[in-house]
Structure 1
Amino acid sequence: MNAFQDNKSSTGNEKSTPDLNPPPYSEASQNPPPPFQQNHPTPAGYRPPIFPPLFGVYTSGYRHLSLALHKDSRPFLSLETHSGFSGKPSMILSNGTSTLATADFHSLSSKTDLSVGTFNCVMQSDGMFTANYPFEYIHDDGSREVFAWKRSHGAEVQSLRGAYHGYKLVRVKNGQVVAAWTKPGGPSVDKVGKIALMERGLGERWEVTAVMGALALLEKERQKRNNGVSAGTAVAFST
């Protein structure tokens, strides 16, 4: 008997050798580890923008319009239109609980009063035979700047894939196009137009003012078109 065997037999309570083999596969956890998720805390005071970069304007009932990403998506703002005899502004833009902006038309004039909170400005054609509608905007720092909605069939309007002609909003001081809108490219029962915001660094109040100006021009063209249809119908019945 060798020394190793003698030592093993002489120590009655020797420690057992640990089992270093892995557990059977059935004993191991078969659930995959949870995916890594990195939290991005929302900055204090952050508020998401009111408008997406591109959205549509749709009819949603008598004297009601809605703003939504698509025809079948949920509207994020609503628009009421009123006649001049109602005592209310011609157009009221709201989020369902509060008024964001109004537009008030003037009969026998191209003048439109735009109001966003306590800010007010006038949008009016700068000539009888021109399709330019300038307005002066006052920035938060008190500086003043003139913007103008101009009839166009340029790249900004064409990118909306609607009617051939539309309007673009231009910074008069440098010619930068900051927004655009157009009507549908063909007959549509419920779609009124499409609006794009191409500059997102001018503030929320400016965006509401720009969109309200676009909606006012869209509504004026819609009324003109409807009045033309009504006049044509009346002539047809009279003959």
Structure 2
Amino acid sequence: MASSKTVEATAYAAPMDGMPPPPPYQETDNRTSAHPSAGPAPSYHAGEPSLGAGFTSSGGVRFPPTLNAYLQMAFTRTFHLGERKEAPSFAARMHSGFTKNPELVLYNGPSEKDPILATATHKSLWKSRATLITVPAREGVPHDTESQNVEMACHASFKHKTYTFTADVGVGKETRREEFEWRSSHGNEVRELDGYKWGWKLVRLSGEPLGSGGDRATRTSGSTSDGHEVVAVWAHNNSMSMTKAFKFQLMGSALNGMLGERGAALALISALRIWAIELNTAAASSSAASGAAGAAAAAG
């Protein structure tokens, strides 16, 4: 039976980016960050994750606590994100990567006519593993008067893969530079996404630790084994649905608004970018397997 990633890739032919196949999903939060500290963030208690009603930024953008990505069966590269298919919060569109358009565009509303909230694309043809994320300036939002460009780097080894980025997050005078890391995981935070067995979690490497870490049975909810806060999770849809593609959830300081509109937007656009990379990889693997099977049949 085809995997959910292969089903999604078949339903939505995203552009290829030449990424190698992803490694098996494993818990990777017991590693120590090799990246320099971005400096201490303002001290506050993030607390345990609460789904609540999400938050609305000072710029008027509402981020629900959870979002599903809904593909359209029509011939289009546009899909929607929302708590329910009938009430989308955001639209997103993928481009081929061979035009001037970014490969992924996230809109602040359910239509491509709405303002752009964030974009993501490969940094260059020679650095396909590096993603350039842009959060444009927001008119009428004093602390977002300048666009922010963020580079998300992929770090891969035989067993693990992570994606890291450093960005300015927060609200108003509380804006500060922080470091984040997407880690593949099959921990409790991912499992709570309607029973998903594996996925990714966004770890806030800067700021105050949430407890002392440890194994899953003893550590603080919403924290990693090395004591960092988990601020978002996402996973592929674990059913064979051809339209409901993946599920995303904000947590902790991203959900309660402490990371601001840009923090939430960066969490969402970076999750979508990794999801698109994995769809491309699954499509490439499926195509290669079909080609090999066809060649073997012809030879036989």
Report the TM-score, using the length of structure 2 for normalisation: 0.60
Q: Distance in 1 between matches of 2:268 and 2:116?
A: 14
Q: Which residue of 1 aligns with 2:269?
A: 212
| Amino-acid identity (%) | 31
Q: Which residue of 1 aligns with 2:11?
A: none
Higher Cα radius of gyration: 1
Runs of 4+ displaced beyond 6 Å? none
Per the alignment, do residues 105 and 128 of structure 1 end up closer, same or farther by CA in structure 2, a change over 3 Å counting? farther
Which letter does structure 1 place at the counterpart of 2:91?
Answer: S
Q: Which residue of 2 aligns with 1:104?
A: 121
Q: Which runs of 5+ in 2 are unaligned?
A: 1-56, 137-146, 210-227
Pairing partner for 2:235 from 182, 187, 200: 182
Q: Which runs of 5+ in 1 are unaligned?
A: 1-44
Q: Which residue of 2 aligns with 1:24?
A: none
Q: Which residue of 2 aligns with 1:144?
A: 177
Per the TM alignment, residue 134 of structure 1 is displaced from its structure 2 partner at its CA by 1.0
Which letter does structure 2 place at the counterpart of 1:69?
Answer: E
1:119 aligns with 2:148: yes
Q: In the alignment, is the contact (CA less than 8 A) between 1:55 and 1:196 conserved in 2?
A: yes
Q: In the alignment, is the contact (CA less than 8 A) between 1:162 and 1:182 conserved in 2?
A: no
Q: Distance in 2 between matches of 1:159 and 1:100?
A: 27
Per the TM alignment, residue 231 of structure 1 is displaced from its structure 2 partner at its CA by 2.0
Q: In the alignment, is the contact (CA less than 8 A) between 2:66 and 2:248 conserved in 1?
A: yes
Q: Which residue of 1 aligns with 2:105?
A: 92
Q: Distance in 1 between matches of 2:150 and 2:283?
A: 27
Which letter does structure 2 place at the counterpart of 1:67?
Answer: L
Q: Distance in 1 between matches of 2:58 and 2:77?
A: 34
Superposition pairs for residues 189-208 of structure 1, below 5 Å?
189-199=242-252, 200=256, 201-208=258-265
Q: In the alignment, is the contact (CA less than 8 A) between 1:192 and 1:218 conserved in 2?
A: no
Q: Secondary structure at the match of 2:155?
A: coil
Per the TM alignment, residue 161 of structure 1 is displaced from its structure 2 partner at its CA by 1.9
Q: Which residue of 2 aligns with 1:38?
A: none
Q: Distance in 2 between matches of 1:125 and 1:52?
A: 28
Q: Which residue of 1 aligns with 2:64?
A: 52
Q: In the alignment, is the contact (CA less than 8 A) between 1:102 and 1:114 conserved in 2?
A: yes
Q: Which residue of 2 aligns with 1:134?
A: 164
Per the alignment, do residues 49 and 208 of structure 1 end up closer, same or farther by CA in structure 2, a change over 3 Å counting? same
Which letter does structure 2 place at the counterpart of 1:76?
Answer: S
Point out which structure has higher relative CO (alpha carbons under 8 A, 6+ apart): 2
Q: Which residue of 2 aligns with 1:29?
A: none
Pairing partner for 1:65 from 44, 69, 79: 79
Q: Distance in 1 between matches of 2:153 and 2:236?
A: 20
1:155 aligns with 2:172: no
Per the TM alignment, residue 87 of structure 1 is displaced from its structure 2 partner at its CA by 2.0
Q: Deviations over 1:40-61 (max 9, x none)?
A: xxxxx96654220011012124
Aligned residues: 194
Per the TM alignment, residue 162 of structure 1 is displaced from its structure 2 partner at its CA by 4.8
Q: In the alignment, is the contact (CA less than 8 A) between 1:168 and 1:180 conserved in 2?
A: yes
Q: In the alignment, is the contact (CA less than 8 A) between 1:147 and 1:171 conserved in 2?
A: yes
Which letter does structure 2 place at the counterpart of 1:198?
Answer: M
Which letter does structure 2 place at the counterpart of 1:109?
Answer: S
Q: Secondary structure at the match of 1:69?
A: strand
Which deviates further from its counterpart, 111-120 or 124-133? 124-133
Q: In the alignment, is the contact (CA less than 8 A) between 2:59 and 2:261 conserved in 1?
A: no
Superposition pairs for residues 6-45 of structure 1, below 5 Å?
none
